[in-house]
Amino acid sequence: MGGFFNMDGPFMRFGNALADVMILSVVWLVFSIPVVTIGAATTALFYVTTRRVSDKEGYILRDFWESFKSNFKKATILWLCWATIFGLVLANIFLLIPATYMDPTFSTVLQVVQIVILVQLLVISVYMYPLTARFDMGFKQIIKSAFFMGNRHLLTTLSSLLTGAAIVGFSVLVFEPTLIIGIGIYAYVVSYMVMMVFKKYRPDMDAKDSALQELAPLPDFNIEDNEDNENTENTENSTVATVAEDDDNPTKI
């Protein structure tokens, strides 16, 4: 019984995780109030949670702030582009296409195309912010990697989207205050799944005995490739960027 309540016991670990979820949710909400900063806040959120699920030590507020600052420009541009396209597609589906006098068959085909685009935007959103938080990549490669991972690892993608839908549904239909901490719960759950995907391409990511601190860009994905083991090892060896001298540098760890 004593082991259950000691500092390393399951009770304390659950309590610490719950506290982290609450703190991160509130911090994310505060930093997202301007709306335009949602991308940077979400990137910082996933920076903290992906490290936490890998048992990386750190300070929540400091790590969040440092990631928010260092990724602000990139994450903000990604968020604004994604949100704009998402909004336009929704408008096409629910407003423009139904209000347009056109051939019913053509209208149906156009709506199906728009729905496919909408689904792919949701797929990309699952990986876009964790990739921005943990890898040093340009805009094009972030989108390409998110698209590739999202469609290749469909079980993880679907589980992540269903997790978000379940949290929103529970908050709206059962207990509304859950929505306040829902973003933290979502980030932690998704981080567990996304990190398993990341480690398929970076097996040494967040390894306790690894000297690697800054992660280079992921491979330039080609969906037609079969990603045989030999090519994967060569790619990993050739793309390691830096061995950091300071373990406290939170930019890309």
Is the pLDDT at 215 greater than 70? The verdict is no
Average pLDDT over residues 11-34: 86
Contact status, residue 41 vs residue 129, Cβ threshold 8 Å: no
Please tell me the predicted confidence (pLDDT) of residue 179. Answer: 79
Pairwise pLDDT comparison (198 vs 232), residue with the higher score: 198
Q: What is the predicted pLDDT for the residue at 94?
A: 81
31-45, 83-97, 212-226: least confidently modelled range: 212-226
Band (pLDDT 50/70/90 cuts) for residue 245 is very low
Mean pLDDT, residues 131-139 taken together: 92
Overall average pLDDT of the 191-218 stretch: 72
Q: Which of 106, 36, 26, 100 is nearest to 73 (CA)?
A: 36
State the residue for tokens 């909400």: 29
How far apart CA 92 and CA 106 sit, in angstroms, is: 14
- The mean per-residue pLDDT over the stretch 82-110 comes to 81
pLDDT of 204 reads: 81
Tokens representing 224 are 């037609």
Q: Please provide the DSSP assignment of 138-172 as one string.
A: -HHHHHHHHHHHHHHSHHHHHHHHHHHHHHHHHHH
Banded pLDDT at 227 (limits 50, 70, 90)? very low
User: What is the model's pLDDT at position 172?
Assistant: 85
DSSP state letter for 34:
T
- pLDDT of 156 > 90? The answer is yes
